[in-house]
Structure 1
């Protein structure tokens, strides 16, 4: 991986970590956080739930 790609990858991971903090999950067990994410990923085919989660996320990002 080139330096630029590594930098982009690092930035992406930092941004994702910031979302964990924004969701007040920074002090949670890593397995719990991963479980929450995996559960959400499994349910992303539910269009109604997906829209609700996007709305909730957008509201949280505005704060």
Structure 2
């Protein structure tokens, strides 16, 4: 039986991997890491002050996930393999 600490570390690692996947999905893989971190920090501050912008970006993100699901479904129907090798059951 694994300790609670080990389970917490696994959960944290999985979350970090998922967040990295979001960066890739957004097309930001090649962005300078310092710029990306600064941009995300600035965005977080701006979103705290603007709930309408938060809602707008959330809607865009949900559409992006839905588009990805539709692409995955189309690949499944054609029998093509997923070049990324990722687990399609894990989305967010």
Distance 1:58 1:35 in 2: 24
For residue 50 of structure 1, report the CA deviation from its aligned partner.
0.7
Number of equivalent positions:
63
Structure-2 residue corresponding to 1:16? 19
Superposition misfits of 4+ residues, deviation over 2 angstroms = none
CA RMSD of superposed structures (Å)? 1.3
Displacement of 1:20 in angstroms is 0.4
Higher relative contact order (CA 8 A, sep 6+): 1
For structure 1, the 5+ residue unaligned runs are none
TM-score (norm 2): 0.63
| Gaps in structure 2 of 5+ consecutive residues | 68-92
- 2:72 match: none
